[in-house]
Chain A
Amino acid sequence: MPRHVVFVGNGVAAVTAARTLRRLDADCALTLVSPESPYFFSRTALMYALMGQLERRDMEPYPRDSWAKLGISRRLATVTGVDPARRTVTLDGQEPLAYDTLVIASGSRPRALALDGQSAVSRGVVNFVSMADLTACEALVPSTREAAVVGGGLIGVELVESLLHHGVRVTWLLKDPWFFPAALGREEGERVTAMLRGHGVTLVTDDTAASLEADAAGRVSALITRAGRRVACQMVGVCVGVEPAVGWLRDTPCGGILGRGVRVDATLKTALDDVWAVGDCAELTHAEGLKVEPNWYTARAQGEHLAHNLAGRPTPWEPGVYYNAAKFFETEFTTVGSLPRGAETVLRMHPRKVLSQRIAAVDGRVVGFNLLGSRWQHSTLIGWINTRRPLDWVLAHLAEAQFDGDLAREDLASLVETRPTMEPLG
């Protein structure tokens, strides 16, 4: 009998692992278990669905008949626990499911915000990371004139853009002096913050939510900030980051493998036999830098690695040079490598537009890029970091890494070059 590989989760890590494993091993039985959606969908597409640009079907990256063709079965169910001794996972309201190999890929869940008056609010407070969140937002938007969004990360800006698209007046609370200080330096951060204000959002910096008020029906009616500002709103978006969704494992016999997430070694294997973990919920015990990396690209790459490991081709996960990309309204953002606080940087900035490149170097060698407003070939930049190119060489060859299409190529000569250090926060 072929071995049965059960994946807890139906996100990009689990699905990439399952599809890659099928390519490497034609015989094993594959089952994805998740309560969220019967078909894998792209979580990154949530904002476009909320904006009405995508329908639900458009969010599915693979044709529906491909699952049957590949022999990957999917089970719509909530996993409540794991019994490693009997090799079963227990399901909510369904018979337990037996496994030979278990892959935990339960992803992230939104971090909660403890606010006064929250218990009186039964409707109107949303997160924006799941299919259920999307449906909730869609139901709320038509009756929302004003909304407040808490948190200045990538999910926050997506929710803000979607709400503005529907004509909602948005007040956006950032706890920092400028948008996205986790990645952006002060100079670009302030430029982006001004751009965001230009899109009509009321942007409040250095402040965060303190309490909520509800109307008679239990719908949120106002948000009070730490500084005492009262924001009338019918919807509150909480986007203050995510954490590994592993609470369901806490009180099971598997509790021992938990740290912040599911603790795994370099091969993505846990301390238990035949139990592995991948994606946002995995905590990499061997990593020097980020141990939990909630990122689409990481999850997908880890999924590929895991499949090789499961197929008996040991492929340790090495985090490698970090890269990520995002979009703030019309402005595209690419970051590659690291930009340590206090590092020497070159900042090339357009006099007016949100168009800049910040290049960080340590000991004269390039270690990171923050690129705003145009498109870049990240693999070229990764290559430069890996081969420890000198800063001057990179500045001279920067145009080679541009990825703008025809007629859209930005003229790098129009930028003004300065050499600020990467300012530490606070």
Chain B
Amino acid sequence: MTLLRALKHDLTHRGPSAWALSVLLLGFYFGLYLPSETRALGLRVGALSRVSGRDLSGESVFALHLPGLSWWAVALTVGLAGAALHAAFERTDEARPFGEGLAHRLRSTGLPMALLTLLTLPAGLVAARWLDPPTRGTRHLLPTATEHAPWVVVALSVVVTAALTLDGLRRAWRQRAPGPLWTSTASLGALGLFAVYGTHVFDPAAPRPPGERSLAHLGQLFYFALDSRWGLYGALYTLAVLSGGVFMLGRYRASRYQVIRTLAVMVVQCSFGFAIPIVLKLFAWPEFYFSYFWPLKLDALMPETLLREPLVLGLWSVLGALVLVPLAGVFFGKRWYCAWVCGCGGLANTAGEPFRHLTSKSERAWRFERATIYTVLIVAVLVTAAVLAASLIGPGTRPTAVYYGGDGAPGRYLFDPIRSDALVGFAAKARYYYGIVVASVLSGAIGVGLYPLGGTRQWCRNFCPMAAMLGLAQRLGRFRIEVKEGMCISCGMCSTHCEMGIDVRSYAQEGQSFTRAACVGCGMCATVCPRGVLAVTAAPPTQLVQIRRRRP
């Protein structure tokens, strides 16, 4: 029991296990969304360690060359990145001058992460090598003499990290505070390895030696439903929302709002987010998610998607994005989508619940949020516009150009004043990079991977273009957090529980009702408020007798 409690505290207070879980999730998402890029990165890291010109594709790449200069450079980069992450998530403190803070971050996070990277890089190498299709078939069952070294290091790193983790837990329990990160950074390599390996195991499309099967091949029905990594991922996602939802229902059973909202999130995920697309597929329709709209799903308004889909689905996409979403945002606030329907919010509010208090409430974080989220929205609009424009005036459809061709041979333009081929190229490129940076890295890897470190809703708060749009709509409507004047006891439960980083207390203790674009209307501030000061509502304001008697 004691150990479990210590683990829970550690995991939810940025202790060693939280860092380890974050690395695990990041590894998982990179492997899931960007398998070939991740693989290439692993090989690139391998290449950095190469001395004496040995070739990457040969067996000798497994030989360990620790003193290699670039090896240290990678470790140093990881260490600095760790220190930067630490700085991004820590609370500002007037008592600590900047320089001292820098030294502290480098010592407590940067150094251990760099050291651990030195130990665990071989693990990454092995993983990349193992996943690399061209060489898998010829791989020996047991490592040859030159392959022993990395395995020894992997084993060593696992032992060391396990020892450090246990020590961190012990300290966490004794001091009722997370152990120093020194003892942490647990299992960076071991868990990362597991993550990459895990995506391989779950991926039916991955090349395999004869006799080895992926888990996704279990049973024919299973195979039909989960015929891709995305099918299996969807099942895992739904399972996470359901089990987290059960946890939520138990924890907040006294709050009717939270019970109904959590049930809604669970039902929407099971149906619109999982079962309905599979059923549609059974009837040979496209795998369509009714609960995702442009600009969260950029593809929904892309011309080739709309042309491919049955009319009714196309109408749903267009009307949903341009009419339903903003209008409902004005009338009900952002919450109808972000806290009741959306799968990203659904995972955050169920499985992510234990991490909700970690979101930064600082001014700095708020400034960052406003800068990034509207940037992503603008970029999303521009990318969509570019693709639409390209398809409208692209080759073959340009009314302004004279096209010369014939007999099925590739033609050429005789007259082309607006250089649409450049536009087409730009649109394709913009869409590709938007897909990698926003859809894969920001929404997937960062969005979920940083739950244990930066709190849930990192994606929703800082990057989601849909949330940005709904936030603007919300400010037009009358959705608000109503504050009962003079009743706040400044306990801080509301601010601590705000997953969007709103310092609710700063409004509540001034008795000031407010609307913030960021608020997703989860209602948790009002639920946990011990004096019933807050009400999340979009109802017409009541004619209250405003008594300011006790305030001069």
Mark A residues whose CB is within 8 Å of B: 12, 42, 44-45, 48, 52-55, 57-61, 63-65, 67-68, 138, 142, 167, 296-297, 301, 304-305, 308, 313, 315, 320-321, 323, 325-327, 330, 332, 334, 375-380, 382-384, 386, 400, 403-408
Contact = CB atoms under 8 A, between A and B. Distances in A.
Contacts of B495: 58
A52 B496 contact: no
A386 B490 contact: no
Contacts of B552: 304-305, 308, 313, 315
A406 B532 contact: no
B358 to A, nearest CB: 11
Contact of A65 (B94, B509, B531, B539): B94
B9 A375 contact: no
Contacts of A57: 91
B545 A383 contact: yes
Given A297-B550, A379-B485, 20 more contacts: A12-B490, A44-B530, A48-B492, A48-B530, A53-B493, A54-B493, A57-B91, A58-B496, A61-B490, A142-B2, A304-B552, A320-B549, A325-B487, A376-B532, A377-B544, A378-B484, A384-B545, A403-B532, A406-B535, A407-B256
Given A57-B91, A61-B490, A379-B485, A408 B256 contact: yes
Given A138-B176, A405-B526, A386 B532 contact: no
A377 B362 CA distance: 30
A61 B509 contact: yes
B526 A296 contact: no
Interface in B323-367: 357, 362-363
Interface centre among B176, B260, B487, B546 (most CB of A within 10 A): B487
B257 interface: yes
Interface in B15-72: none
A54 B496 contact: yes
Given A320-B549, A383-B547, A405 B493 contact: no
B257 to A, nearest CB: 5
A304 B362 CA distance: 27
Interface string B524-552: 00100011101111110010111101111
A403 B535 contact: yes
Contact of B94 (A42, A45, A64, A405): A64
Contact of A327 (B93, B173, B530, B536): B530
B465 interface: no
A371 B288 CA distance: 50
Interface of B: 1-2, 9, 13, 91-95, 173, 176, 254-257, 260, 357, 362-363, 482, 484-487, 489-493, 495-496, 505, 509, 523, 526, 530-532, 534-539, 542, 544-547, 549-552
A406 B339 CA distance: 14
10 contacts: A59-B492, A61-B492, A64-B93, A301-B486, A304-B552, A325-B531, A327-B531, A379-B486, A406-B523, A406-B538
Nearest to A141: B176
Given A57-B91, A332-B532, A379-B545, A296 B489 contact: yes
Given A297-B487, A403-B484, A408-B256, A60 B551 contact: no
B523 A405 contact: yes
Given A383-B545, A405-B257, A48 B493 contact: yes
Contacts of B491: 42, 44-45, 48, 54, 59
A45 B509 CA distance: 14
Nearest to B8: A52
B265 to A, nearest CB: 14
A340 to B, nearest CB: 21
A53 B496 contact: yes
B484 A377 contact: yes
Contacts of B487: 297, 323, 325, 378
Nearest to A66: B94
Nearest to B532: A375
A304 B552 CA distance: 7
Nearest to A68: B94
A313 to B, nearest CB: 8
A406 B537 contact: yes
Contact of B489 (A44, A55, A375, A378): A44
Contacts of B542: 400
Given A68-B94, A320-B549, A42 B490 contact: yes
Nearest to B547: A379
A330 B527 CA distance: 10
Nearest to B496: A58
B528 to A, nearest CB: 8
B490 A406 contact: no
A380 B505 CA distance: 22
B83 to A, nearest CB: 21
Interface centre among B93, B176, B532 (most CB of A within 10 A): B532
A214 to B, nearest CB: 25
A143 B341 CA distance: 45
Given A54-B492, A61-B492, A400-B542, A407 B260 contact: yes
A373 to B, nearest CB: 10
The 9 closest A-B pairs by CB, nearest first: A383-B545, A375-B532, A405-B535, A45-B491, A61-B490, A44-B489, A330-B254, A379-B547, A315-B552
A157 to B, nearest CB: 11
B535 A379 contact: no
Contacts of A54: 491-493, 496
B498 to A, nearest CB: 11
Contacts of B492: 42, 45, 48, 54, 58-61
Interface centre among B260, B493, B536 (most CB of A within 10 A): B493
Contacts of A59: 491-492
Nearest to B1: A167
Contacts of A330: 254
Contacts of A408: 255-257
A48 B497 CA distance: 12
Contacts of A308: 552
Contacts of A61: 490, 492, 505, 509
Nearest to A56: B177
A63 B93 CA distance: 9
B535 A44 contact: no
Contacts of B535: 375, 403-406
A60 B546 CA distance: 28
B493 A406 contact: no
A86 to B, nearest CB: 32
Nearest to A38: B95
B257 A406 contact: yes
A52 B9 contact: yes
A371 to B, nearest CB: 10
A53 B550 CA distance: 31
A214 B359 CA distance: 45
A308 B94 CA distance: 30
Given A42-B492, A54-B493, A382 B549 contact: yes
Nearest to A331: B254
